Copies of this chain bind each other. A is one copy, B any other.
């Protein structure tokens, strides 16, 4: 390994001078700049960021704390994040490891939270002293600056659309694992439309997992219990896609027999049969912005929570029905 020392000797200057030209801090003669540059090129020197990190306390590494990358949802966010991180010279490592110690151990410059693991609190993260930002958060009481998706708005958009299409019996799939704005938004909307709230018209039958598989299982169950509604608002696209498969399996046609709306607009949503009507979350954009937010924070700029607007993407999984 060739170090700054080698360059210094080769160029006949001091190590300090080498540092100065590498980080172009000025105060070095044109002649020396050239000698050093030449040496660097010839010896193929490249700075050791570990050593630098030890000294400067900056590793140029960011931790993305996500439950499971296998969920396409997170992959799209990650992809956006990664793009801006790269532009700023940061590497991102993804971890679903609940151990907060790694943050200090590995000296991450900052962390992006996409969830707070069970058994941990936002206080713990805050106390750890790292630069912190949350992404795609929808819970109300988060003090950490974050990108807030206005899920309530998205739900309302979807519900309105369903209403326009003539639907009056709509099942909402929510989640048990956390407080979910969906339910409140749903109730509020029902009230506004003067529709009755029937508890069997929303489901919280699954815990934590919002996957294809879970959607499939929920779909099967839903059919077997008798179609109690004309439309479903799924927790997310992955689940909606699983349901699509379940309905197909059970001989239930979408949208003829039941209408279905997803959430997130992941890439595949365009390629399902029928193409999935869904609420777009701008996942990629969210990823980019949250990385930008964290990097700003690392640079000691002040950042504040920002609301992301959702958008209804109309494809073919919802039917107009007669009222």
Q: Which residues on A are within 8 Å of B, measured CB to CB? A: 1, 46-51, 53-54, 59, 61, 68-70, 72, 75-76, 78-79, 82, 86, 91-95, 97, 101-102, 104-107, 212, 216, 241-242, 244-245, 248, 267-268, 270-275
A245 partner, pick from B46, B216, B270, beta carbons under 8 A: B270
16 contacts between A and B (CB under 8 A): A48-B105, A49-B106, A49-B107, A50-B50, A69-B75, A69-B78, A72-B72, A82-B94, A86-B97, A92-B93, A212-B268, A216-B271, A248-B273, A268-B268, A272-B272, A273-B273
C-alpha gap A248/B274 in the complex (Å): 9
Q: Which of B47, B53, B78, B270 contacts A50 (CB 8 A)?
A: B53
Query: Do the beta carbons of A70 and B75 come within 8 Å of each other?
Result: yes
Given A76-B70, A245-B273, A248-B273: A267 and B49 interface contact (C-beta under 8 Å): no
In whole angstroms, what is the CA distance A245 to B253 when docked?
17
What is the CA–CA distance of A206 and B61 in the complex, to the nearest angstrom? 36
List, in ascending order, chain B residues with CB within 8 A of A268's CB.
212, 241, 268
Shortest Cβ gap from A109 to chain B (Å)? 11
In Å, the complex CA distance between A86 and B95 comes to 9
Please state if A47 and B245 are interface contacts (CB–CB under 8 Å). Answer: no
Query: Which residues of chain B are near A104, meaning CB under 8 Å?
Result: 1, 46, 48
Residue of B nearest to A216 (CB): B271
Taken together as a complex, chains A and B put the C-alpha atoms of A79 and B216 apart, in Å, by 22
Contact call B49/A51, Cβ cutoff below 8 A? no
Hey, which chain B residues are within 8 Å of A59, CB to CB?
50
Q: With the chains together, A72 CA to B78 CA distance in Å? A: 13
A75 to B267, CA, bound (A): 14
Selected from B54, B244, B271, B275, the residue in CB contact (under 8 A) with A241 is B271
Decide yes or no: A245 and B275 within 8 Å by CB, A93-B93, A106-B50 being known contacts: yes
- Nearest 8 CB-CB pairs, A to B? A245-B271, A273-B273, A93-B93, A50-B107, A50-B53, A91-B93, A46-B101, A49-B105
Cα(A241)–Cα(B82), bound, Å: 26
A91 touches B106 (CB 8 A): yes
In the bound complex, residues from chain B placing their C-beta under 8 Å from that of A245 are: 270-273, 275
Contact B267 A244 (CB under 8 A): no
With A47-B105, A245-B273 as contacts: A212 and B70 at CB distance below 8 Å: no
Bound Cα distance A271, B276 (Å) = 14
A275 nearest in chain B by CB position: B245
Please, which residues of chain B bring their CB within 8 A of the CB of A46?
101, 104-105
Nearest chain B CB to A318 CB, angstrom units: 17
Cβ of A197 to closest chain B Cβ, rounded Å? 32
